[in-house]
Amino acid sequence: MSLFVDSFKKMLKGRVLNIGCYGSTMFDYLYQESLLQKFYLEGLDIVTSSLEKNVHKGDALQMHYKKKFNFIVAGELIEHFTSKQAKTFLNKCNEALTDDGVLIISTPNKNAWSNRLFHKFDTANPKEYSGHEKVYFKDELVEFLCSNNFSIKDVYLLPYDIFSSPNKKAWIYCLRKKIDIIIGFFGLDDLKEQMVIICMKTSTRNTD
């Protein structure tokens, strides 16, 4: 089981929006969970739609929903935005959430051991979608979220797995997990590769 999904799946209830779900193993898993836990799941992606799974094509920077969501899950998305776009994105999430709504973000950790060695998070430019515009340190992202009307509930530092970085060979995830276990044993959690931040909406004030 994915440590990433385990960090938040039991929280999900009501209406859930998964943004940036194209090619996402996580969305397929959440879709099955929605059938078991009986929460409503909707997907939004700029690349494609899948009507049978309630995925709609659209831009996260322009999204508008009449009916609010209790949870928004945005896995490996915010790093594809510039700082200005990220601010717009958080404002749109704020508008789309209920008053007690929760935003769940995962993103590469700029301070990660692998990024320190290879800088691949800084320069990632996959062919099938836009590359990374801005990669965050943990404290930097926490401060950015707080300054845009979200309060931090939990922060997790985890290894990458298939739910957060699909289309790689299985042994790669196994190796990364072992490295992160060793890092944690020496108290170096800040060097782990993936950040998961669970935060709550604190205001509906427009931040543009």
Q: What mean pLDDT comes out for the span 123-148?
A: 89
Confidence of residue 167 (pLDDT cuts 50, 70, 90): low
8 Å CB contact between 30 and 104:
no
The token duo for 191 is 């060097």
Q: What is the pLDDT of residues 173-202, one digit of tens each?
A: 888 889 988 998 999 999 999 999 999 999
Q: What mean pLDDT comes out for the span 151-176?
A: 83
Q: What is the mean pLDDT of the chain?
A: 89
Please report which helix (H) or strand (E) contains residue 73, including its range: strand 69-75
Q: What is the pLDDT of residue 7?
A: 84
Q: Which of 81, 87, 83, 69 is nearest to 13 (CA)?
A: 69
pLDDT at 83 over 80: yes
Q: Which residues pair with 135 in a beta bridge?
A: none
Chain centroid, CA 125 distance in Å: 18
Comparing 207 with 26, the larger pLDDT belongs to 26
Q: What is the pLDDT of residues 141-152, one digit of tens each?
A: 999 999 999 999
Indicate the SS3 state at residue 114: helix
Q: What is the pLDDT of residue 6?
A: 83
Q: What mean pLDDT comes out for the span 39-58?
A: 87
Q: What is the pTM of this model?
A: 0.91
Q: What mean pLDDT comes out for the span 135-160?
A: 95
Share of the chain above pLDDT 70, in %: 91
Q: Which of 84-88, 120-124, 164-168 is predicted with the least confidence, judged by mean pLDDT?
A: 164-168
Q: What mean pLDDT comes out for the span 136-160?
A: 95
Q: Length of the chain in residues, anyone? A: 208
Confidence of residue 203 (pLDDT cuts 50, 70, 90): low
Indicate the SS3 state at residue 161: coil
pLDDT at 166 over 80: no
Classify burial at 62, counting beta carbons within 10 Å of its beta carbon; exposed 0-12, middle 13-18, buried 19 or more. exposed
